[in-house]
């Protein structure tokens, strides 16, 4: 069965921010892991290009919406390549292929009797592209997310009969694995229990959107159109796109990874729309938390937006990936603090993992002819047992999307190996010839454990993982199935060790 993982389709009102980088890195790590364990993976990302927000942005810039979208969408695609993101599909909701799916899907929903004409009155946030509850009906009410005034709407719209799917959605959101993390699941359950209201799926005041068939002036509501991007992305761009084809290839998605603010769209509206079109819901919707900066919400007006481009050019990919995956529990909010970032990267990657490798290679080269030492007992039982336990914990955490646990288990293992090396003090023992066998065994064990650390890191820090493997001169094992590389004792006695260079430089904190 194909493993389909999606990021949200990002609005093209601006280039990627740290929040979008965060989601995309998580998806990339999961996609890499699944490929390594032999799954067929379709990793979908892309851009959400229609709607009033984008139209206004293009107007502000004095260019056409399509020109604006081409430019920003390209930036997204290029940035993901710079970050080494291994997406399989990049869908643009302004593409012809996508429009075809939207038309086909709408026809199905209409056929189910779930579309009717009505009047939509209410307060709208253009930033969220969403109607907001406003019990006081006060025109000064602001969107709590965007801190901008809501706009009053009173227009003829087409509606989707969400209320018809009350029972179906109630059952679905109560399924134990459908919404994660669990706290978010409870929020959605209580929202659904209050009773689902039909929602409008078209706009009449908007030209930048997909035209609704058989109407004069309606375009599809941006969310109705955008969610369908997950389906239109599945068929390859060159293929003749159809819903049937997407189902044949693998729909439903295995996991939609999104921010907590758009959970309702994904866990409530979307499954009802799919049901109406005779399709299965996604298997899981995972709502991650929000990133703040030094304790404050990131915002342009606050002047504290952390530019991901700057982070990438200054520190590189691995440090940022490690920090975001390790320091933020998936599902919880997290704070980006410069000092903490530098400390974590230096302690974990430069010292605990990097320095361990570096100094052990230096000792081995110096004492054993630039090579991995020969030992009597390659299979050191203590190491094999610890390794098996660690591997089980790491694989289990990868399988459960607990990436922060993965990083912590890898780090714990590396700390244990450092302790082992320090306790054995091979630099003292080597002074006495009779200890040579013992020293060889210690050095072999540490080198082999470092190789294993490199293999563990492959899904989350692909570049650093490769650096470790290069330093140990054992690239040839890359051809092996990933799990088989986790077997103790692969590092060959006598194999040459290249001259060590630090696999990661220590970061400097700049206040």
| Footprint of ligand MSP (CB under 6 A) | 8-11, 19-20, 22-23, 48, 226-227, 229, 258-259, 261-262, 290-291, 298
Which helix (DSSP H) or strand (DSSP E) does residue 53 occupy? helix 52-61
Distance CA 261, CA 50 (A): 19
Residue closer to ligand MSP (CB basis): 58 or 258:
258
Residue closer to ligand MSP (CB basis): 283 or 506:
283
Distance CA 455, CA 387 (A): 12
Name which of 289, 264, 250, 283 is nearest 178 in CA terms. 283
Cα 230 to Cα 2, 42, 89, 224, 509, distances in angstroms: 14, 11, 10, 11, 41
- Whether the CB-CB separation of 234 and 251 falls below 8 Å is answered with yes
Closest contact distance (angstroms) between CB of 12 and ligand MSP is 8
Closest contact distance (angstroms) between CB of 227 and ligand MSP is 5
Closest contact distance (angstroms) between CB of 339 and ligand MSP is 20
Residue closer to ligand MSP (CB basis): 253 or 474:
253
Q: Which residue is nearest to ligand MSP (CB)?
A: 259
Distance CA 353, CA 159 (A): 56
Distance CA 470, CA 482 (A): 16
Cα 4 to Cα 32, 65, 80, 224, 324, distances in angstroms: 12, 30, 18, 20, 23
Residue closer to ligand MSP (CB basis): 287 or 354:
287
Distance CA 190, CA 452 (A): 45
Instruction: Compute the half-sphere exposure of residue 222: CA atoms within 13 Å on the CB side of its CA.
Output: 25
Closest contact distance (angstroms) between CB of 481 and ligand MSP is 34
Closest contact distance (angstroms) between CB of 13 and ligand MSP is 8
- Whether the CB-CB separation of 320 and 312 falls below 8 Å is answered with yes
Longest distance between any two alpha carbons in the chain, whole Å: 92
Residue closer to ligand MSP (CB basis): 11 or 398:
11
Closest contact distance (angstroms) between CB of 2 and ligand MSP is 19
First to last CA, the chain: 50
Distance CA 126, CA 149 (A): 9
Closest contact distance (angstroms) between CB of 312 and ligand MSP is 17
Query: Looking at beta carbons, which pairs linking 506-511 to residues 24 or more positions away fall under 8 Å?
Result: 506/346, 506/350, 507/315, 507/319, 507/341, 507/342, 507/345, 507/346, 507/350, 508/342, 509/338, 509/339, 509/342, 509/343, 510/338
Closest contact distance (angstroms) between CB of 261 and ligand MSP is 5
Instruction: Supply φ then ψ for residue 21, to 5 degrees.
Output: -65, -45
Residue closer to ligand MSP (CB basis): 52 or 363:
52
Closest contact distance (angstroms) between CB of 265 and ligand MSP is 7
Closest contact distance (angstroms) between CB of 435 and ligand MSP is 53
- Whether the CB-CB separation of 265 and 227 falls below 8 Å is answered with yes
Instruction: Supply φ then ψ for residue 35, to 5 degrees.
Output: -65, -40
Residue closer to ligand MSP (CB basis): 270 or 488:
270
Residue closer to ligand MSP (CB basis): 9 or 52:
9
Residue closer to ligand MSP (CB basis): 340 or 359:
340
Cα 127 to Cα 51, 147, 148, 399, distances in angstroms: 10, 9, 8, 35
Instruction: Supply φ then ψ for residue 29, to 5 degrees.
Output: -65, -40
Residue closer to ligand MSP (CB basis): 234 or 357:
234
Closest contact distance (angstroms) between CB of 9 and ligand MSP is 4
Residue closer to ligand MSP (CB basis): 51 or 426:
51
């Amino acid at each position: 069965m194909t493993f389909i993982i999606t990021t949200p389709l990002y609005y093209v009102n601006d280039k990627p921010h740290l929040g979008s980088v965060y989601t995309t890195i998580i998806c990339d790590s999961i996609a890499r892991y699944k490929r390594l364990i032999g799954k067929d993976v379709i990793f979908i990302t892309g851009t959400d290009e229609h709607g009033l927000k984008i139209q206004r942005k293009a107007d502000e810039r004095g260019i056409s919406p399509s020109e604006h979208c081409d430019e920003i969408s390209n930036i997204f695609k290029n940035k993901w390549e710079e970050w080494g993101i291994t997406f399989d599909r990049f869908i643009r909701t302004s593409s012809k292929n996508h429009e075809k799916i939207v038309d086909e899907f709408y026809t199905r929903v209409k056929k189910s009797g779930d579309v009717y004409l009505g009047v939509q009155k209410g307060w709208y946030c253009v930033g969220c592209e969403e109607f907001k509850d406003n019990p006081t009906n006060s025109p000064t009410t602001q969107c709590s997310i965007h801190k901008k005034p809501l706009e009053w709407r009173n227009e003829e719209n087409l509606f989707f009969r969400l209320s018809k799917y009350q029972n179906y959605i109630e059952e679905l959101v109560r399924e134990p694995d459908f919404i994660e993390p669990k706290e978010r699941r409870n929020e959605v359950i209580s929202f659904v229990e209050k009773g689902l209201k039909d929602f409008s799926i078209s706009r009449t005041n908007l030209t930048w959107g997909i035209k609704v068939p058989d109407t004069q002036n309606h375009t599809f509501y941006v969310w109705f159109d955008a969610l369908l991007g997950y389906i239109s992305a599945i068929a390859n761009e060159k293929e003749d796109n159809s819903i049937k084809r997407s189902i044949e290839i693998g729909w439903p998605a295995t996991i939609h990874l999104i921010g907590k603010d758009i959970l309702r769209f994904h866990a409530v509206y979307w499954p009802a729309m799919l049901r109406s079109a005779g399709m299965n819901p996604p298997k899981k919707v995972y709502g991650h938390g929000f990133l703040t900066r030094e304790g404050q919400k990131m915002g342009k007006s606050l002047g504290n937006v952390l530019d991901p481009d700057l982070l990438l050019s200054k520190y590189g990919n691995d440090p940022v990936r490690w920090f975001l995956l390790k320091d933020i529990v998936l599902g919880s909010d997290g704070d980006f603090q410069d000092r903490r970032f530098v400390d974590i990267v230096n302690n974990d990657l430069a010292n605990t993992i990097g320095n361990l490798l570096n100094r052990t290679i230096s000792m081995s080269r110096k004492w054993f002819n630039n090579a991995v030492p020969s030992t009597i007992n390659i299979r050191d039982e203590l190491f094999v047992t610890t390794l098996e336990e660690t591997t089980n914990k790491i694989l289990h955490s990868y399988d459960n999307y607990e990436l922060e646990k993965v990083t912590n288990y890898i780090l714990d293992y590396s700390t244990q190996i450092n302790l082992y090396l320090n306790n054995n003090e091979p630099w003292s023992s080597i002074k006495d010839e009779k200890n040579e066998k013992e020293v060889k065994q210690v050095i072999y064990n540490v080198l082999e454990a470092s190789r294993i650390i490199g293999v563990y890191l492959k899904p989350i820090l692909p570049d650093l993982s490769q650096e470790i493997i290069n330093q140990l001169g054992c690239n040839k094992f890359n051809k092996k199935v990933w799990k088989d590389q986790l077997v103790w004792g692969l590092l060959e006695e006598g194999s040459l060790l290249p001259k060590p260079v630090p696999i990661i430089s220590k970061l400097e904190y700049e206040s």
